[in-house]
Amino acid sequence: MNTSATAANRQYATETLESAVIRFCGDSGDGMQLTGGEFTTTSAMYGNDVATFPDFPAEIRAPAGTLPGVSGFQVNFASTEIYTPGDKVDVLIAMNPAGLKTNIADLKGGGILIVNEDAFNNNNLKKAGYASNPLEDESLKEFRLFKIPISRLCEESLAETGMGAKAIGRAKNMYTLGIVYWLFDRSLEPTIKHLTNLFAKKKNQPELAELNIKALKAGYYMGETAEMFQSRYVVPKAKLAPGKYRQISGNEATALGLIAGARLANKTLTYAGYPITPASDILHFLSAYKNYHVKTLQMEDEIAAICAAIGASFTGDIAITASSGPGIALKGEGIGLAVMTELPVVIVNVQRGGPSTGLPTKTEQADLLQAVYGRNSECPCIVIAARSPGDCFDAAVEAVRLAVKYMTPVMLLTDGYIANGAEPWLLPQVGAMKPIEIKHATEFNGHSDDADGEGNNVYLPYLRNENLARPWAIPGTPKLEHRVGGLEKAENTGNVSYDPRNHQRMVDLRQAKVEKVAQDIPPTEIQGESSGDALIIGWGGTYGALHAATERLLKHKQKVGTVHLRHINPLPPDLGDIISRFKHIIVPELNKGQLIRIIRDHFLVDAVGINKVQGKPFLVSELVAEIEGIIAR
Amino acid sequence: MTQIELPKYTAKDFATDQEVRWCPGCGDYAILAAVRKVLPDLNHRKENYVFVSGIGCSSRFPYYMGTYGIHGIHGRAPAVATGVKAANPELDVWLVTGDGDGLSIGGNHLMHMLRRNVNIKVLLFNNRIYGLTKGQYSPTSLEGHRTKSTPMGSIDHPIHPISFALGVEATFVARCTDVNKGGLNILGDVLKAAANHRGSAFVEIYQDCNVFNHQAFFYATEKDTARETTVLLEHGKPLVFGANRDKGVRLNSTRLEVVSLDKVKEDDLLFHDETDPALAFLLSRMSHQQGMPEPVGVFHRIHKPCYEDMLTAQMNKAIEQRGEGNLEKLIHSGSTWTVGE
């Protein structure tokens, strides 16, 4: 088949759009994540800028047809640079009544609504809590409703394949994707290639690959021949920075960044983890990259994971563990041990909604104070945060670099939103990446008081360099045998010491060491005005929404500037100066106000928070409205 | 390892300048001395030893060994040690723990380390009490044991460390005592056997806490009783014991019984087989409290592949099959596309 189908196009009016937001929703068994992912990849490879928001239930298969079982995937694709998956939806595809019910509020007035008419039977309507069929009353009249009997059409088009009803039934997501591809004039090739690879090559089920490809094509033809749609839509290519791109999710970028960090240090990476949503993918990705000198240990629990990482770090590997909030809570004591033994470990926290088990598949930024303060006693940790899926790569490299430079644990914060979300990633130039230099101690570095003569004759494991970092002698190195542990250490010798003054000194030193990291923080970039009415301070995964909101505020002639923090502990040294140049300080966060407490604490400013804890990212529109409200006060 | 280069070590080489801070009379001293004495005989490089521990009296051990060491957090030493061994399989990793650290807070980690068969030597000092926290009952304390936290007697059923290790399929399981005034001191032999085992080696050591649970194991260590209350396990040999070697252990149906050699021939006694886990489990249930001699020596010893070897082998296989990954390859993995100027 010639998928370009250009001749047929001309019968239809073509509308050009700057951007469009599509959301696929249906039952968690309907394959919406795959469908959305395919549309995203196809659009990205076509040349659009894309941003996605997968939204799925914590249950693997909640009862079919129910509201909690709805799985959604939103993609924003554009001919301009975009920063978020979009506030409102232009095209909603609802595979069942439950999907319609939970998502219709986000569809724009006049937006396109495509439904699988066959799924709107009495049983499903009842499960979704509809008293009457919304397709047959007036409730959807503000939308452009397309009732398509997707199940039946898909079944008919695949009848001759002789495949089972179950396999055919499950192919309806590809049929639907075909329709949407036609509507947006997209090539089927990337998806055909992927299906072939997925089913035929990986799962050794070429017949399923064929079936799904057939469904995809049938849906595409349906769009073309059914004369249902009056026009097609074109979202032209975006003017992205030139270079080579790939589609990447935050978790994959984190995994690649960690490997890159270890490769830049020419070291083996030892990753110890325990499965937890939404961090497990980091373990999955790393396990697939063993040929990059990666060892992955799936430990018996979160505590074992941090402890194994500490053991690997003592032994000289780049040691990593990753988890989400509840797992990080369990790791707290272990992180304290890493602080005390001054061993480099990177701890990734892919934050999710909490507290306790909370909303495992939803996003939140409420572990910031846990990262900065959540351990017993004076236990400072370097804390940095990634701001977008692709940025997870850079943040992970930075985490490795800081950990080994300062010989101390680094907490890298990402969140469910950027971890699962994806965007086109401009591949970094390998030549431009600075090697990470690690010099393990191999010689004595001190002189014992009870010995006569010149020269060094002992190894002092807690002697410090100009960065206050201690040396890193690894087991197997002759003469440098030494012990580390959780008991307080005497300065330089590392011997156990309960001396009061030594304890004060060591607490101060560990704190001063973390504060030294400020010397590594580049000047803070400000988006918009460098002084004026309001400074917006953000961190982490809200970057896209804040960036887009700031653009809009600047268009509204608001005198605002926005800074987005990578480094949270310590803070950038120039932040105080920037803060002093603005009237209002606004700190939007997906929590009840955590960074704001740190900002107030450090700078004694009357900052104002914008706080949301719904398991969902900020909408650009709500940020703009709130910020303008604060400025107008 | 090249034998020629290896320095001749003595026990002194494995000491540190740190003052040992156990209570005078503690059984730990004897174990420390025995370990320091055994290591020079093993012909391993001193810099390759790593002693890992958790929290408790026993866990201060690494500070007193002139080797690499990590004193970790309560119960987690098996995980720390697994990380050490995973990162460098060449190292000789020893783990020192106690009945509280290893079987209470750290039971989970110990279980998983043993079942993975990480090549680590575990010395579990069992004194049936919490010493460092000053005298609460432990998971090996006997029922009815009166302690600070059990003034009316412990209501917990104690764990049997050997049964536990066998249950999680440790490949080397042994028991000995800190001292033996009865003449048969096998601590050094058991340590050597553990060191020479390739895989997780679990050694329970009856250790006297002379402050909070003094004489808990006197029956097994004192001159007048030891030979009556313990039986030495030797592979392929019958279980004979007693000061006059006049008693034996016989298998009667599925149960073990003590018999007099006056009445039963040696050939009819139970012959020890280190490779039989079911037999080892039966032996692990023999207790002094029930009038049986308690076995010392190696209960079980079999060969299985080690975790860290397989971990490294998978990494090397991936490198062999897919080629060594470099940064350029890493970043360009997956589908890419190019946006022009």
Please give the pLDDT value at position A11. 64
Whole-complex ipTM:
0.97
State whether B82 and A311 contact (CB < 8 Å): yes
State whether B315 and A260 contact (CB < 8 Å): no
State whether A337 and B68 contact (CB < 8 Å): no
Interface test with B, best of A430, A481, A497 (most B CBs within 10 A): A481
Q: Identify all chain A residues contacting B73, using CB atoms and an 8 Å cutoff.
A: 307, 333-334, 336-337, 486
State whether A247 and B66 contact (CB < 8 Å): no
Residue found by looking up tokens 């990446």 in the block: A433
Q: Identify all chain B residues contacting A337, using CB atoms and an 8 Å cutoff.
A: 72-73
Q: Identify all chain A residues contacting B322, using CB atoms and an 8 Å cutoff.
A: 291
CA dist B111 and B106 (Å) reads 9
Spell A183-209 as b/e; 16+ CB within 10 A means b: bbbbebebbbebbbebbbeeeeeeebb
Nearest Cα of chain A lies from the Cα of B11 at a distance, in angstroms, of 15
Sign of CA dihedral B1, B7, B8, B13: negative
State whether A244 and B332 contact (CB < 8 Å): yes
Nearest Cα of chain A lies from the Cα of B332 at a distance, in angstroms, of 7
Cα-trace Rg, chain A: 27
State whether A260 and B91 contact (CB < 8 Å): no
Run means of pLDDT, 10 residues per run, chain B, 341 residues:
71 94 96 97 95 97 97 98 98 98 98 98 97 95 96 97 98 96 86 98 97 96 93 97 96 96 97 98 96 97 98 97 93 86 73
* Cα–Cα–Cα angle for B252, B255, B260, rounded to 5 degrees: 55
A495, two tokens? 């011997």
Q: Identify all chain B residues contacting A427, using CB atoms and an 8 Å cutoff.
A: 331-332, 336
A507, two tokens? 């607490």
Interface test with B, best of A315, A423, A427 (most B CBs within 10 A): A315
Q: Identify all chain A residues contacting B46, using CB atoms and an 8 Å cutoff.
A: 478, 481
Nearest Cα of chain A lies from the Cα of B38 at a distance, in angstroms, of 18
Name the strand (E) or helix (H) holding A25: strand A19-27
Nearest Cα of chain A lies from the Cα of B80 at a distance, in angstroms, of 4
CA atoms within a 13 Å half-sphere pointing along the CA-CB vector of A577: 8
Nearest chain A residue to B333 by CA: give it: A246
Q: Identify all chain A residues contacting B79, using CB atoms and an 8 Å cutoff.
A: 272, 299-300, 303-305, 307-308, 311
Nearest chain A residue to B88 by CA: give it: A315
State whether B330 and A44 contact (CB < 8 Å): no
Spell B44-78 as b/e; 16+ CB within 10 A means b: bbbbbbbbbbbbbbbbbbbbbbbbbbbbbbbbbbb
Strands (E), A540-616: 560-565, 567-569, 582-589, 608-611
In three-state secondary structure terms, A515 is helix
Nearest chain A residue to B18 by CA: give it: A495
| This prediction's pTM | 0.94
List CB contacts of A215: < 8 A, sequence separation 6 or more. Answer: A154, A157, A158, A171, A172, A174, A175, A178
Closest CA to A543 of A90, A75, A81: A81
Identify whether the C-beta of residue A172 lies closer than 8 Å to the C-beta of residue A99: no
CA dist A170 and A632 (Å) reads 53
State whether B91 and A308 contact (CB < 8 Å): no
Nearest Cα of chain A lies from the Cα of B198 at a distance, in angstroms, of 19
Nearest Cα of chain B lies from the Cα of A237 at a distance, in angstroms, of 10
Q: Identify all chain A residues contacting B62, using CB atoms and an 8 Å cutoff.
A: 483, 485
Nearest Cα of chain B lies from the Cα of A611 at a distance, in angstroms, of 36
Nearest Cα of chain A lies from the Cα of B300 at a distance, in angstroms, of 25
Identify whether the C-beta of residue A232 lies closer than 8 Å to the C-beta of residue A20: no
State whether B327 and A243 contact (CB < 8 Å): no
Q: What is the pLDDT of residues A474-487, one digit of tens each?
A: 999 999 999 999 99
Please give the pLDDT value at position A584. 98
Nearest Cα of chain B lies from the Cα of A613 at a distance, in angstroms, of 35
State whether B87 and A317 contact (CB < 8 Å): yes
Q: Identify all chain A residues contacting B327, using CB atoms and an 8 Å cutoff.
A: 260, 263-264, 430, 433
State whether B335 and A41 contact (CB < 8 Å): yes
Q: Identify all chain B residues contacting A270, using CB atoms and an 8 Å cutoff.
A: 83, 86-87
Spans of chain A below 50 pLDDT? 1-10
Nearest chain B residue to A287 by CA: give it: B315
In three-state secondary structure terms, A439 is coil
Nearest Cα of chain B lies from the Cα of A447 at a distance, in angstroms, of 15
Q: Identify all chain B residues contacting A341, using CB atoms and an 8 Å cutoff.
A: 70
In three-state secondary structure terms, B45 is coil
State whether A290 and B319 contact (CB < 8 Å): yes
State whether B46 and A290 contact (CB < 8 Å): no
DSSP state of B49: E
CA dist B304 and B314 (Å) reads 17
Nearest chain B residue to A495 by CA: give it: B18
State whether B63 and A427 contact (CB < 8 Å): no
State whether B332 and A427 contact (CB < 8 Å): yes
Q: Name the strands in the sheet holding A422-426, side by side, starting at the edge strand that comes first in the sequence.
A: A422-426, A243-249, B336-339
State whether B112 and A484 contact (CB < 8 Å): no
Sign of CA dihedral A149, A151, A152, A157: positive
Identify whether the C-beta of residue B144 lies closer than 8 Å to the C-beta of residue B114: no
CA dist A220 and A223 (Å) reads 5
Strand-pair partners of A516: none
Spell A471-509 as b/e; 16+ CB within 10 A means b: bbbbbbbeebbbbbbbeebbbebbbbbeeeeeeeebeeb
In three-state secondary structure terms, B247 is strand
Q: Identify all chain A residues contacting B86, using CB atoms and an 8 Å cutoff.
A: 270, 272, 295, 297, 308, 311-312
CA dist A423 and A245 (Å) reads 10
A394, two tokens? 């850079």
Please give the pLDDT value at position A4. 39
